[in-house]
Amino acid sequence: MATLTPITESTAHLDLATALPVVRESTTSRVLVNNDLMRVVQFTFDAGEMLTEHTSPRAVVVQLVSGRMRFTVDGDEHLMGDGDIIYLAPGAAHALVADTACRMTLVMVDVAVATGV
């Protein structure tokens, strides 16, 4: 499990393109922030790599930093390019296929913690 990032402490994660390069025929990831409120993960995908359909109990924001991918949410496919963002409501079924080498940042927010519910 990733090290906890205290909510009360700021952090910086620099030079991620060097620290987490796209690896041939692979999907890689690095957890950048991890605490009770949120989790931030950066992924890289080589062309043709995919994540099969799954869900998350958290609200999720996906930003494609670079590349092209097909991102499916609840059966609707979206063609994503550099800088595009998709918001996923908690429980939304989603999957992806990288059409080119890609770098993606995923931010998951625990809605119960964020709203006090």
Q: For residue range 75-97, list pLDDT tens digits in order.
A: 999 999 999 999 999 999 999 99
Contacts for 92 with CB less than 8 Å, ≥ 6 apart: 55, 56, 60, 73, 74
Sequence ranges of the domains in the chain: 30-115
Cβ burial of 84 (10 Å; 0-12, 13-18, 19+) is: middle
Predicted confidence band of residue 13 (pLDDT cuts 50, 70, 90): very high
CB atoms within 10 A of CB 49: 20
105 closest CA partner among 45, 25, 36, 24: 45
Separation of alpha carbons 46 and 67, rounded Å: 10
Domain 30-115 coded CATH 2.60.120.10: yes
pLDDT, position 111:
81
